[in-house]
Amino acid sequence: QSVLTQPPSASGTPGQRVIISCSGDTSNIGRNTVNWYQQLPGAAPKLLMYNNNQRPSGVPDRFSGSKSGTSASLAISGLQSEDEADYYCAAWDDSLTVFGGGTKLTVL
Partner 1 sequence: EVQLVESGGDLVQPGRSLRLSCVASGFIFDDYAMHWVRLPPGKGLELVASISWNGDITGYTDAVKGRFTISRDNAKNSLFLQMSSLRPDDTAFYYCARDTNWDINGAFDIWGQGTLVTVSS
Min dist CB 95 to partner 1, Å, is 5
Q: Where are the beta strands (DSSP E) in 69-102?
A: 71-76, 85-93, 96-99
> Which amino acid does the sequence have at 92?
W
Query: C-beta of 89: minimal distance to partner 1 in Å?
Result: 10
CA-CA distance, 23 to 7, in Å (whole number)?
A: 10
Tell me, residue by residue from 31 to 60, as one string, x for binding to partner 1 by CB under 8 A and - for no binding: -x--x-x-x----xxxx--xx----x----
- Residue from the set 18, 20, 98, 105 that interacts with partner 1 by CB under 8 A: 98
Pairing of strands 18-23, 103-107: unpaired
User: Contact 90/28 with Cβ under 8 angstroms?
Assistant: no
Site for partner 1 in 67-96 (CB under 8 A): 86, 88, 90, 92, 95-96
Give me the residues that bind partner 1 (CB under 8 A), please: 2, 32, 35, 37, 39, 44-47, 50-51, 56, 86, 88, 90, 92, 95-102
